[in-house]
Amino acid sequence: GDSVTQMEGPVTLSEEAFLTINCTYTATGYPSLFWYVQYPGEGLQLLLKATKADDKGSNKGFEATYRKETTSFHLEKGSVQVSDSAVYFCALSDQAAAGNKLTFGGGTRVLVKP
Amino acid sequence: DADVTQTPRNRITKTGKRIMLECSQTKGHDRMYWYRQDPGLGLRLIYYSFDVKDINKGEISDGYSVSRQAQAKFSLSLESAIPNQTALYFCATSDSGAPYNEQFFGPGTRLTVL
């Protein structure tokens, strides 16, 4: 079945540091890939997406590139801020799978210190 | 106003009690989902509904039931709550007409079963 694996946290960084969160996936079909972010006390929000190989999703200074050859979708930001402290979830949606559901990774908590 | 709302936001109950969590949406989406979130496990799908007459079990449906009362309403019931159902529960919606399965999440319900 489909699965998503992402690095465990917590990841603690200083402001303006470079952030990378690794994400790899397995899927039976040709999935769309997503990063969702959950700020403290809130629900999940879509951060960025990519729907085909080599697509780069970007939003709020975050980027991730759909790498089909390595089945990866790593999230990066060049200079984090305290407001980026949140839990980040990598997810996939495989249209070949029954129900076209989202499959999530376990989440990575990021804490940015001033 | 929020597009996806959940009630209650917090609930504490005792083992054996029946609990209903409610979700409403104003996005006009046909698809609705219930997930639970546990630390380190990401979000896991409990049930999903592609329209009012189409309800399907997710990966962890045991101990739960759902009702799709209308396109805009999808409720989750715990017939006899047990402590390991203590978790954060999220409702989500998506549009079957969208080119990819972006889901929109409610703010969550924190349920504690004593």
R_g (Cα) of chain A, nearest Å: 14
The confidence band for B16, taking pLDDT boundaries of 50, 70 and 90, is: very high
pLDDT band, residue B96 (cuts 50/70/90): confident
Instruction: Give me the pLDDT at residue A28, please.
Output: 81
Please compute the mean of the pLDDT values over residues B95-105 and round it to a whole number. 82
| pLDDT at residue A98, rounded to an integer | 57
> In this complex, do A104 and B43 lie within 8 Å of one another by their Cβ atoms?
yes
Contacts of B16 (CB under 8 A, 6+ apart): B80, B81
pLDDT tens per residue, range A9-55 = 899 999 999 999 999 999 887 899 999 999 988 889 999 999 899 99
Decide the pairing of beta strands A11-14 and A108-113: parallel
End-to-end CA distance of chain A: 41
Contact status of A71 with chain B (Cβ, < 8 Å): no
Cα–Cα distance, B16 to B78 (Å, whole number): 9
For residues B92-111, average pLDDT = 87
* Interacting residues of A98 by C-beta distance below 8 A, sequence separation 6+: none
Beta-carbon count within 10 A of A94 CB: 22
CB contacts of A100 in chain B (<8 Å) are 101
B97 contact A CB<8A: no
CA distances from B77 to A48, B33, B47, B80 (A): 32, 13, 11, 9
Q: Which residue has the higher pLDDT, B103 or B21?
A: B21
pLDDT band at B1 (very low <50, low <70, confident <90, very high): low
Q: Does position B2 have pLDDT exceeding 80, yes or no?
A: no
Residue B73 and residue B86: Cα distance in Å, rounded?
23
Outline where B14-92 has alpha helix (H): none
Give the pLDDT of residue A97. Answer: 59
Is B48–A46 a contact, with Cβ atoms under 8 angstroms apart?
A: no
Q: Where are the alpha helices (H) located in chain B, listed in sequence order? A: none
> What pLDDT score was predicted for residue A67?
96
Burial code (b: 16+ CB inside 10 Å, e: under 16) for B26-51 equals eeebbbbbbbbbeeeebbebbbbbbe
- Nearest by CB to residue A44, choosing from B44, B50, B90, is B90
Q: What is the pLDDT of residues B62-85, one digit of tens each?
A: 999 999 999 999 999 999 999 999
CA A108 to chain centroid, in Å, comes to 9
